[in-house]
């Protein structure tokens, strides 16, 4: 099965470019998307994002995750959360989030480039392991790390920070089950065309 597309809206350090509901709908109608991650610098902006964008995604079967507290995700009707999981404290928070979310909601963990953190996050109950960075200028997932995870571990992995179709395809070929496009997607003139181009390359990889 080809790797699936994972989209990110907003940024933690600033609100960033955020599509209007109709803009997101155009993208979702142009190509198949598995997951939408909402990010914002504060809870108020997260609430606005969820209210404006989550319905358009969820009615099309797209899982909506929050880069924020699990309690807020539950309150806003999201499908789960995505949390950092590189330090011991973050792994501990991941375990707590699993208890809050129960088994029905999604718990995603971002482990950067750390094999040890990835293993610990899997043991803590993460439903998927993310590699790479969410930061606008951060590195994409390491292909060797994706291959290692795919060959040795069971939970699916997400390759973050793909910036163009060729990079997305390379990460999928390396072993990513999902490829997350950088949030800069929404800064492009035609986000739907850019997302569709990535989906086409993923199908061919």
Distance CA 193, CA 165 (A): 11
> Is residue 19 predicted with pLDDT exceeding 70?
no
pTM for the full predicted model:
0.94
pLDDT at 108 over 80: yes
Residue-level pLDDT at 14: 59
Confidence grade of residue 13 (pLDDT, cut at 50, 70, 90): low
The pLDDT-based confidence of 200 (bands split at 50, 70, 90) is very high
Average model confidence (pLDDT) for the chain?
92
Q: What is the mean pLDDT of residues 7-19?
A: 70
**Tens digit of pLDDT for each residue in 134-158?**
887 889 999 999 999 999 999 999 9
* 163-189: pLDDT as tens digits: 999 999 999 999 999 999 988 888 777
Report the alpha-carbon distance of residue 3 to residue 157 in Å, rounded: 10
Tokens 């950092």 — which residue?
84
Looking at the DSSP bridge assignments, the partners of residue 81 are: 66, 107
Q: Which domains does the chain have, with CATH numbers?
A: 4-204 (3.20.20.70)
């Amino acid at each position: 099965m080809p790797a699936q597309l994972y989209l990110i809206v907003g940024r933690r350090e600033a609100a960033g470019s955020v599509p209007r509901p109709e803009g997101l709908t155009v993208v979702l109608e142009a190509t198949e998307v598995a997951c939408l991650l909402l990010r914002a610098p504060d809870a108020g902006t997260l609430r606005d994002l969820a209210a404006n964008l989550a319905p358009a995604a969820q009615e099309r079967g797209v899982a909506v995750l929050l880069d924020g507290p699990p309690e807020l995700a539950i309150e806003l009707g999201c499908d789960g959360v995505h949390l950092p999981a590189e330090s011991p404290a973050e792994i501990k928070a991941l375990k707590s989030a699993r208890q809050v979310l129960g088994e029905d909601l999604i718990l995603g963990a971002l482990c950067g480039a750390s094999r040890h953190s990835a293993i610990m996050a899997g043991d803590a109950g993460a439903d998927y392991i993310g590699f790479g960075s969410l930061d606008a200028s951060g590195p994409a997932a390491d292909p060797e790390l994706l291959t290692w995870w795919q060959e040795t571990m069971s939970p699916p992995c997400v390759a973050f920070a793909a910036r163009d179709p060729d990079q997305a395809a390379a990460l999928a070929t390396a072993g990513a089950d999902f490829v997350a496009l950088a949030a800069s997607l929404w800064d492009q003139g035609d986000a739907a065309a850019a997302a569709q181009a990535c989906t086409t390359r993923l199908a061919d990889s």
